Chain A
Amino acid sequence: MSDMHKLHNTKPGRVFDLINVIFLAVAAIVTLLPFIYVVAGSFATESELARRAFFIIPETFTLEAYRYIFTSEAFIRSIVITIGVTAVGTAVQLFFTFTMAYPLAKRALRGRKLLINIVIFAMLFSGGMIPTFLVVQGLGLIDTYWALILPNAINPFNLIIIKNFFQNFSVELEESAKIDGASEIGIFWRIVLPLSKPIIATFALFYAVAIWNDFMSPLLYLNDSSKWTLQLLLRQVTISSDPNALGNLDPDYVPPAEGMKLAIIVIATLPIMMVYPFLQKHFAKGLLIGSVKG
């Protein structure tokens, strides 16, 4: 491949490459800097945070906030819970979504259009918070981690996109497998899924991030505070700047230290941000889809 590129490394091509690399570098810096500030701020003292508007290296370095977080049993517990629910939840939601998306991609399947319409309808119309709560309660899911997973098991938006990916799947490949005597489930499991790694990786990321960032489900469905997730803790410390809490604050409320807020933001975002770099290796491996289209 490199030979090919060398062969055609024309002058305008190189100029393009250079501009592209510089443009992307600027984009990377512009998006990275604010987060570096958040991280730096979490190690800074209160007066420094108040005095300096923006910095990437704190003058005085303090571990106060992290010491508090990592000696608090509740914090450690909620980190473990959040990671656990996210891992199990992502697997469950991927299962629900992919098993439904695959048959819906089969244009010859009877009832397919009806089901797609049902999905689209559900994407736009919902019964609202309280009726959903009553269903979850009726199923006995209150105070269980399933309440954070099952009510969002399929995101209709994701389902439609995955279905469309499958629609572009090589028909010949599946047909030949069928002739070899494989059942539809066999084809799905042994041929389609292994070739869909980029898509699985993408939607694993989407679902994982959604579960990780979910705030409403734990708020509504968990009474037992020993089951709280990180997002609840995060909202608790950033409450004074939460638009939903405006005018609703007890006048005696004393906001937590700024450094503490930033440290909790770091703890609550860093683990989930690490997921993408790990998934990236799967993005280059699906090769066959798209080679045959339609």
Chain B
Amino acid sequence: MGSFGKRELLVISVLLMLMIVIGCSNDPASGEDKPDGNNDTDNVVYFDEIKIMAPTFETTAPPADNEWEQATEELTGKKVNMNWVPNVSYEDRMNVTLASNDIPEVMVITGKTPGFLNSAEAGAFWELTDYLDDYQYLGQYNEDILRNASVNGRVYGIYRERDVMRSTAIIRKDWLEHLGLDVPESVDELYDVLHAFTFDDPNNTGADDTHGLIIPTWYGSLDTLSIWFGAPNVWGVEDGTFVPAFETEAYREALDWTKHIVDQGLVNPDFTTLSPDDWNNAMFNGAGGVIIDTYSRAMQVNNLFVDEAGSDDSDQYYVEITGTLRAPNGEEYGHPTDGYAGFLAIPKTSVQTEEELHEILSFLDVLCSPEGINLLNHGIEGVNYQLDDEGYLVPLETEEAQALNPYTMEQISMFGDGMHRMKAEGELPQKRYQLMEDNGNYAVFNEAAPLVSEVYSTRGTQLDDIIEDARVQYIAGQIDESGWEAAVELWYSSGGQELVDELTQLYDEMN
């Protein structure tokens, strides 16, 4: 009884075929009709309104036609129609939008995700490589970042600039002071601090209840350490061939250094399971005294101490930041980001001709002007902020400003000069800006950042996991040197060698 009879199968297959027919007619017609009447005159306006799809991190998405949006419209002379999408599943929403027949003129792309790459390769977006130089502000891009954000040298979007230098060690100031230690400047000095934090009772409890470094299951700390030791940033190039970082001497040195501090008990014993969500708390609670991560995390941890102390003295701070630490050989190497967080792309379905493209790019050009970039990031002068006599930005705290703040347009901000800066209030932020500037000279960039590899997009996660797992197992003492070698071998035979070859070839083609 309980199985498909012939009749059922027949009916289901007929249904399926019917659906295929219906479905195909459902597919979006490529290309909508555009009301673009007379093409030849110069003053033709193609878009009365520009629709922009962008992610939002706010719990309450900005309402349509709020003041901030209106100010943007006023500045650009274009009606703006923002389509805010919750960031969580932005990728899904992007793909659904591309599959539908309702495509915005500008789409924020959060990164070189496969969904984006597939569509870009299929010709979904304008290639902007040869256009940007024609515009006053868009033409002032940073060449390195533009290259990093490109797809094998082809530019499919205008990057959203981010700070390049972010990595630092974050150290509990009270512990340093209690033990009379200086802020470390090299990895060797860091070791001494970790040792003292573990064994010299930095919290003054008389008990052996502290550790030095806190590592969670997100192993960015180990990447930063290996770069401080002088390893390449993910990929290096030697004699024209790509070399994965983990194959270098410096990487192994960093690995053994880490294993050594783990063996000595200078690292939290649950480093194989500690959730990154509990990272800040572990430091705040005194489980350990050092974190290697970003300046933003330093601020977050500092805020926990501020919250507890209830003090509003802005010069009072609770964590020390170090920026880049010198390698044992005395050299300095910094761990940079790729310098961007996604980009703004222009779909060809909604923007069909070069003339139309020009109109959109002119619009984006205005957003990269000093007025534009300040408006998108800081809001309306006189409402959200004021400038003091020295030209520093002073945020306003009126009710009006606070109501408007969550409607920020910073998600569609690209790059540009002339951004107002806040006067660094307090020692910690000042120190941060100084370190960011100093460390910039020693940045070690990822040579493969612009390269998009076929092998990596199909097998990248497995390849990464092989090395990541072996690294943790090695540090935890579960595998020895031969186990590590075996993992590297496995990496090469699982597609790593093809990846090296492909990247080398792509690199040659691009240069």
Using a CB–CB distance below 8 Å, which chain A residues touch chain B?
Answer: 45-47, 50-51, 72-75, 113-114, 117-118, 121, 127, 129-131, 133-135, 137-138, 216, 219-220, 223-226, 228, 232-233, 235-237, 239-242, 244-245, 248-256, 264
Q: Which of A74, A127, A137, A236 contacts B100 (CB 8 A)?
A: A137
Q: Are B341 and A233 interface neighbours, CB within 8 A?
A: no
List, sorted by A's number, 23 A–B pairs whose CB atoms are closer than 8 Å.
A46-B307, A47-B308, A50-B284, A50-B304, A51-B285, A51-B308, A73-B60, A114-B11, A117-B8, A129-B92, A135-B26, A219-B89, A225-B56, A228-B61, A232-B86, A235-B88, A236-B57, A244-B88, A248-B87, A248-B110, A250-B110, A251-B162, A251-B337
| B341 neighbours in A (Cβ, 8 Å) | 250-252
Q: Which of A74, A127, A216, A255 contacts B89 (CB 8 A)?
A: A216
Q: Are A219 and B93 interface neighbours, CB within 8 A?
A: yes
Contacts known (A117-B12, A130-B95); A225 close to B62, Cβ less than 8 A:
yes
* A130, A250, A256: residue with the most chain B Cβ atoms closer than 10 Å: A250
Closest to B411 in A: A250
How long is the Cα–Cα vector from A25 to B15 in the complex, in angstroms?
53
- The 0/1 profile, CB within 8 Å of A marked 1, for residues 274-312 of chain B is 010100110011000000001010001001110110000
The answer to whether B330 has its CB under 8 Å from any CB of chain A is no
Q: Are A242 and B88 interface neighbours, CB within 8 A?
A: yes
Q: Are A133 and B59 interface neighbours, CB within 8 A?
A: no
Q: Which 8 A-B pairs rank lowest in CB-CB distance, beginning with the nearest?
A: A225-B61, A74-B60, A47-B308, A50-B281, A47-B307, A50-B284, A117-B8, A235-B88
Number of CB contacts from chain A to chain B under 8 A: 137
Q: Mark out the residues of chain B between 66 and 95 whose CB falls within 8 Å of any chain A CB in the assembled complex.
A: 83-93, 95
Contacts known (A50-B281, A225-B62, A251-B341); A244 close to B87, Cβ less than 8 A:
no
Q: Which of A72, A130, A236 contacts B88 (CB 8 A)?
A: A236
Q: Are A225 and B63 interface neighbours, CB within 8 A?
A: yes
How long is the Cα–Cα vector from A47 to B283 in the complex, in angstroms?
12
Q: Are A233 and B59 interface neighbours, CB within 8 A?
A: yes
| B27 neighbours in A (Cβ, 8 Å) | 134
Q: How far is the CB of B319 from chain A (nearest CB, A)?
A: 13
| B285 neighbours in A (Cβ, 8 Å) | 50-51
The answer to whether B396 has its CB under 8 Å from any CB of chain A is no
How long is the Cα–Cα vector from A240 to B57 in the complex, in angstroms?
10
Using a CB–CB distance below 8 Å, which chain B residues touch chain A?
Answer: 1, 4-5, 7-8, 11-12, 15, 19, 23, 26-28, 56-64, 83-93, 95-96, 99-102, 110-111, 162-163, 166, 275, 277, 280-281, 284-285, 294, 296, 300, 303-305, 307-308, 337, 341-342
Q: Are A251 and B166 interface neighbours, CB within 8 A?
A: yes
Contacts known (A117-B12, A130-B99, A251-B294); A219 close to B86, Cβ less than 8 A:
yes
How long is the Cα–Cα vector from A258 to B27 in the complex, in angstroms?
44
| B294 neighbours in A (Cβ, 8 Å) | 251
Q: Which of A133, A224, A239 contacts B99 (CB 8 A)?
A: A133
Q: How far is the CB of A10 from chain B (nearest CB, A)?
A: 44
Q: Are B87 and A245 interface neighbours, CB within 8 A?
A: yes
| A237 neighbours in B (Cβ, 8 Å) | 59
How long is the Cα–Cα vector from A130 to B98 in the complex, in angstroms?
10
Q: Which of A72, A127, A251, A254 contacts B60 (CB 8 A)?
A: A72
Contacts known (A225-B62, A251-B166); A240 close to B280, Cβ less than 8 A:
no
| A130 neighbours in B (Cβ, 8 Å) | 95-96, 99
Q: Are A47 and B86 interface neighbours, CB within 8 A?
A: no
Contacts known (A47-B304, A225-B63, A251-B337); A121 close to B12, Cβ less than 8 A:
yes
How long is the Cα–Cα vector from A256 to B83 in the complex, in angstroms?
23
